[in-house]
Chains A and B, each alone.
Chain A
Amino acid sequence: MNAFTPSRAHSPTRRGLLATAAGFGLSLQLLAVPAMAADGELNKRKVIVVICRGGMDGLTVAPPIGDGEYRGLRGGLALGDAALPLDGTFALHPQLTAVHALAKAGEARIAPAVATPDRARSHFEAQDVLETGAAGVYSTTSGWLNRTVETLSAHRKVDALSIGATAPLILRGKVQTASWSPGRGVDAEARLPTLLQDLYRNDALLGPALARGLATETMAKDATAGLDGGQPAMMASGKGVGGGAQQGREAAKTLGQSLAGFMREPGGPTVAAISLDGFDSHANQAGLLNQRLAYLDAVLDGVHTGLGPEWKNTVVLVATEFGRTARANGTGGTDHGTGSTALILGGSLKPGGIVGDWPTLKANALFENRDVAPTVDMRGLFKGVLAEHMGVDRAALDNAIFPSSAAVKPVLGLV
């Protein structure tokens, strides 16, 4: 139960997970090969990726309150009794109430020391690597989730959706994907959409985008029926002067429910991405993350409640481009770091403690005497979910989806 052995003591370590996975070897093979063709169960599986931009502080998302170094390093930023306990070492931020309830039910887990392969501590480089799934920066222009859709499409019909006015890099690429944000809806009787589709027939950018946008609007009528949407100003960030906290939380939940509504529609997307920004907490971190994590929790709550019976077919991954310095900086915040916390949620998660080893916050365990040292490659986490939950085969994961990543083993045993 103390900070230095928690993962070994009462939760599967990465090694433990791999050992568990070995026992699943046969079923994994079954999943990966013939299931691709016609497995009805597999066709229902859904995956949602939530990107938290700005470098979300893992030590605030899931504070290691049982780690002996935590308080000393964090000083006034350390979370105490208000944190929601997970085990002897880890807790969740007080705003993550919905995530905590799911964790208690075995439907949410944390990976407290993950990182992309990038080490430059640049938001933009790290987001590029996080979203392209490449081993290095700016080496690929399409997103790994788009290539996942491309791979899966060889076997079954797979659609993807991003929530927000702009499409995140993770879903950009060869396959045309849908995007949606709350708005007024389209007048189906108007002539303009038809005239424009004609005008765009030779336009490789605008033609497919408009067609897909109109189809999504049609689906949105059903997907968001009964929800109080239609507040585009509340999208994604919901902050700045004038955005009330409660209003923001409700809008966030509605957004999550809208996303869930799309995924429940017949022929709806099976893959989705949404990005939230504003996690860069160089100063006044406590107040800033209090608000941002409340927003994140509400989105996840909306996704969970909105999916209803489909929750058991869904895995949600929450990831950020990098973590932040283990020590508080001089201005009530933290600077750019390395390892951070990812969240894995879903109705069919296997029980277990933290995902991956906890390196501890001891001085000699910190990465470059500064950051949480990553023990899990983010790509391994993604690969594990795609392999076990979505039935993607290893060759596609190692090459097409996460280029040159054969050495990065999937984290198995999650689903």
Chain B
Amino acid sequence: MTARRDKRKETDGVALADQDMKAAIAVTRFGLGARPGEIDQARRDPQGFLKDQIRRSGADQPAGAAPTSAQRMAEFREYQRERRELRIEKASDVRPPKPAGAAMDATDPAMAAAAAKGDARDPVKVVGNMLRKDISEDFTARIQLAATTDAGFRERWTLFWANHFTVSATKAITGTVVGPFEEEAIRPHAFGRFDDLLGAAETHPAMLTYLDQIQSIGPDSQAAQAMRNGGGRGAGAFGGARLQLAAQRTVGLNENLAREIMELHTVGVNGGYTQADVTEFARAMTGISIGGERDGAYGAPVFRVQAHEPGERTVMGVRYDQRGKDQANAILTDLAAKPQTARFICAKLARHFVADDPSPALVARLEAAWTGSRGDLATVADALVSAPEAWDPTPAKFKTPYEFIVSSFRAAGGSPMGFQQVGPILTSLGQKPFSAPSPKGWPEDAQSWAAPDAIVKRMQFAQAFSAGAVHDRDPKALAADALGERLSPETAKAIARAESRPEGFALLLMSPEFQRR
């Protein structure tokens, strides 16, 4: 279609033209968008370029000192303590302070209001600011890695799993541990065995907190009986910081995590489980929690045998007579190995990487790799890169806001300087940092992201971003670098006719082919 390609055909033959298109696809579809020169690097062997990024030892970690989730949880506890003391000081307020457990959520208006006021000496304010700073820094480090990495496919693959096992900052206490969760549970296992990844994600303190597992208590457990009989004393002996007040209310199961593991993380909603299976699984998981003050390891994963519901469980037709945490582990292992899980997740991978409505052949190929390797994710990644269906030249995926912003920085050869450069725009495009709206994570389909308002806001971003990013560079060259063989003649012409460099670069970022991958 273009003179350029025709010339190549004359000199080098059809194969090389295919190779150029493949190089562009490798970097923009499988990766996170091209930095200047990247498509050239992929040209010699596009598939090999991607396969070299598959790394059994795990994904890259964002730069900077990484605090552990336990440290972050301890910080949060400090914040709550300050808040509580501040309330006691306010003598005019005759109401008793809220117990710690009731304050676990950011939606508490008092906490939010205190955090918003702006008195630097207010200890609540100080810690609140620190928590917000933690979240911003974690997110900034993560998006800087995405903007600058040489291994865009490795990072995209990792982000897929982070989204699959969503922990969201929509709860304040989980806000500061989303970053550590990804670093501790997701990144090390992204190319490992799925059941290792599953185990790491589901038993991580961030997930246990986000999906309310930490407070779930077996109704017939020792702890529940003690609390029913002895009120506060029983709870005290039981030890969880947050559980002391459990005596004041019904003690029992919380089935949230059990349900979402089945529905979202493993077999999927059509995986063949019932409400009874969810409840049984929730019973098996009782006792899996995080340390309280008396445990000496606040925020660390613990198993409280006293909170575990005794007895056998039956989940999806299988009887589990293990004791203690082995019971939940056995169920998780079985869920990971189910064919429904392979099918559900391979279809999701194909939807993420290739098309909202991927070809059944591609899904079948991934499923075969999954089943044949017993859920070895490096093998599945290799199968994805090897699948001919994944290299269709028509870009079927519309970029999410995160992908659009990251690829814009990559096209400019830059990296976000700070949170303010990325946080507000992502929020206004509907993808507030670390704040997926539900445990299902961010949607992947074009319909979700291409609403009229979102396109207008992308355009506004492109305009403002280009003004500061293009400098004295030629937008035509930047476009060739960013899209390679995927650059259409229409877009190339529009950029060539632009009346300024920033306008040309903004046209590139908003072009139909840059908006897709």
Contact = CB atoms under 8 A, between A and B. Distances in A.
B219 interface: yes
A172 interface: yes
B453 A180 contact: yes
B423 to A, nearest CB: 9
A22 to B, nearest CB: 39
A192 interface: yes
A64 B443 CA distance: 37
Contact of B135 (A172, A241, A328, A335): A241
Q: How large is the interface on A (under 10, 10 to 19, 20 to 34, 35 or more residues)?
A: 35 or more
Nearest to B515: A206
Interface string B477-517: 00000000000001100100011000100110011100100
A203 B512 contact: yes
A331 B254 contact: yes
A191 B460 CA distance: 12
B452 A212 contact: yes
Contact of B212 (A172, A184, A206, A333): A333
A75 B252 CA distance: 13
B259 interface: yes
Interface string A125-141: 10000000000010000
A241 B428 contact: no
B315 to A, nearest CB: 17
B143 interface: no
A213 interface: yes
Interface string A298-317: 00000000000000000000
Contacts of B512: 199-200, 203, 206
Contacts of A245: 109-110, 112-113
A205 B452 contact: no
Given A213-B455, A244-B112, A245-B112, A291 B172 contact: no
B106 A239 contact: yes
B216 interface: yes
Given A172-B447, A241-B172, A280-B438, A213 B105 contact: no
B200 interface: no
A286 B109 CA distance: 12
B115 A241 contact: yes
B250 A330 contact: yes
A287 B448 contact: no
A337 to B, nearest CB: 11
B267 to A, nearest CB: 12
A214 B453 CA distance: 8
Interface string A227-246: 00000110101011111111
A213 B452 contact: yes
Contacts of B219: 330
A368 B256 contact: no
B253 interface: yes
A287 B455 CA distance: 36
A278 B171 CA distance: 9
A165 B105 contact: no
Given A179-B452, A179-B454, A186-B456, A332 B249 contact: yes
A196 interface: yes
Interface stretch (A36-44, A116-124, A394-402): A116-124
B456 A214 contact: yes
A183 B455 contact: no
B459 interface: yes
A341 interface: no
Contacts of B249: 75-77, 328, 330, 332
Given A192-B463, A240-B169, A291-B108, A213 B453 contact: yes
A288 B512 CA distance: 42
B438 A123 contact: yes
B427 interface: yes
B135 A165 contact: no
Contacts of A53: 437-438
Nearest to A201: B490
Contact of A240 (B106, B448, B456, B511): B106
Given A76-B249, A335-B255, A205 B398 contact: yes
Nearest to A123: B438
B225 to A, nearest CB: 13
B415 to A, nearest CB: 23
B170 interface: yes
Nearest to B168: A240
Contacts of A164: 430, 451, 453
B5 interface: no
Contacts of B448: 166-167
B33 interface: no
B170 A232 contact: no
Given A183-B428, A277-B437, A166 B455 contact: no
Interface in B416-451: 424, 427-430, 432, 435, 437-438, 440, 443, 446-451
19 contacts: A120-B269, A183-B457, A206-B455, A232-B424, A233-B427, A240-B172, A241-B111, A241-B132, A247-B116, A283-B105, A283-B215, A287-B108, A291-B108, A327-B250, A329-B253, A330-B253, A330-B254, A331-B246, A335-B254
Interface of A: 53-54, 75-77, 120-125, 137, 162, 164-167, 169, 172, 176-181, 183-184, 186, 190-193, 195-196, 198-200, 203, 205-206, 209-214, 216-217, 232-233, 235, 237, 239-248, 277-278, 280, 282-284, 286-288, 290-292, 294, 327-333, 335-336, 368
